[in-house]
Amino acid sequence: MTDAHGERRPAGELEASVLAALWAAGAPQTPGQVQLSLGTGLARTTVTTILTRLHDKGVVERRRQGRGYAYFPGQDAQDAHGLTARRMHGELDRDSDRETVLARFVAQLGPDDERILRALLASDGR
């Protein structure tokens, strides 16, 4: 999907933005309402597609409103950071050689990220 300037967005960026808009609203939102709150020039159909995907993943719930749906974060929904972590787990689960994938991931970390990861591992990631 592209932004208003025709540039392709990173995977998951739109999902995170839509989820953040739902969290900020504090009440169920229609795709049109989410579109307005994002203010990014996205088509309503694009927002609807993103909401449907989030619903299919179990991240958001919906209820019938008129001819369509109003969406809201599910009880188990996470914030945008949680959604990113969930995508990372999904990518890791797609490959049978987890050790190689993790090794290559760690090898590509910058010094700051490596320091953060080491600190998280030392504290059991909590």
* Per-residue model confidence as pLDDT tens digits over 36-92: 999 878 899 999 999 999 999 888 999 999 999 999 988 766 666 676 777 787 788
14-31 exposure pattern, b = at least 16 Cβ within 10 A, e = fewer = bbbbbbbbbeebeebbbb
Burial of 124 (0-12, 13-18, 19+ CB in 10 A): exposed
pLDDT at 43: 92
pLDDT tens digits, one per residue of 3-21: 555 566 665 788 888 988 9
Question: Angle CA(21)–CA(40)–CA(72) in degrees, nearest 5?
Answer: 20
Distance between CA atoms of residues 59 and 24, nearest Å: 15
In eight-state DSSP terms, residue 97 is -
